[in-house]
């Protein structure tokens, strides 16, 4: 074969034939298409992972906002009021806790997934703020999302975290506890 500019000249039986270089151009298009498709797949995978992480965080925010808002409403209405709320918990949830911020600048957490319990959730001194916290496992590590309430909270009868995460919605009853000191969030 003899190369001349864009054409190939092929010798066969002492005759020269002119061939157009279309085979090479087709292969170049194939290679470019493979690179473009690879880039599109990488972008799609990244977008899906990012979307999934955002859904987990948004689900945790919605859950905490619903529970804290209902607890605040019961607090503002006074003793003798009861409200119910249905909430779902996000996939990837690792902990669900009541968090008390104490006057001595310490933090006491109790609830499922932690080593504390309802009785161990009290500060040595005065409780300044109380709230709820969900810890969600993400690719970059665990993320804690906390919402503060207007009063002290007590979490009662919460299911196992692995059972609640991504599972069905649960109904919670919000009311004052028997001593009249805290708002009790009880799963029913």
Domain assignment present for 15: no
Task: Give the pTM.
Answer: 0.71
Among 48-57, 58-67, 71-80, 104-113, the minimum mean pLDDT is found in 104-113
Domain assignment present for 131: yes
pLDDT for the residue 128: 81
Contact assessment for residue 121 and residue 100, using Cβ atoms and an 8 Å cutoff: yes
User: Tens digit of pLDDT for each residue in 135-153?
Assistant: 888 888 888 888 999 888 8
Among 34-38, 45-49, 158-162, the minimum mean pLDDT is found in 158-162
Domain assignment present for 153: yes
pLDDT for the residue 17: 54
Domain assignment present for 40: no
Domain that holds residue 180: 48-187
User: Tens digit of pLDDT for each residue in 161-187?
Assistant: 777 777 778 889 999 887 777 888 888
Domain assignment present for 130: yes
Domain assignment present for 4: no
CA distances to 13, 33, 129, 173, 175 from 67, in Å: 89, 51, 16, 10, 12
Domain count, the chain: 1
């Amino acid at each position: 074969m003899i190369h001349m500019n864009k054409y190939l000249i092929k010798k066969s039986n002492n005759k020269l034939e002119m061939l157009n270089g279309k085979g090479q151009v087709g292969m170049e298009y194939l290679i470019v298409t493979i690179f473009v498709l690879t880039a599109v797949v990488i972008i799609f995978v990244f977008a899906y992972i990012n979307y999934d992480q955002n859904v987990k965080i948004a689900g945790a925010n919605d859950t905490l906002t619903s529970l804290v808002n209902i607890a605040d409403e019961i607090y503002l209405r006074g003793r003798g009021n009861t409200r119910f709320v249905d909430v779902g918990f996000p996939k990837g949830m690792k902990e669900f806790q009541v968090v008390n911020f104490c006057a001595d600048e310490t933090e006491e957490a109790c609830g499922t997934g932690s080593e504390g319990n309802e009785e161990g959730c009290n500060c040595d001194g005065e409780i300044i703020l109380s709230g709820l916290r969900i810890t969600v496992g993400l690719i970059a590590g665990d993320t804690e999302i906390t919402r503060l309430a207007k009063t002290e909270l007590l979490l009662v009868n919460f299911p196992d975290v692995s059972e609640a995460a991504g599972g069905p919605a649960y109904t919670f009853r919000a009311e004052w506890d028997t001593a009249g000191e805290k708002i009790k969030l009880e799963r029913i």
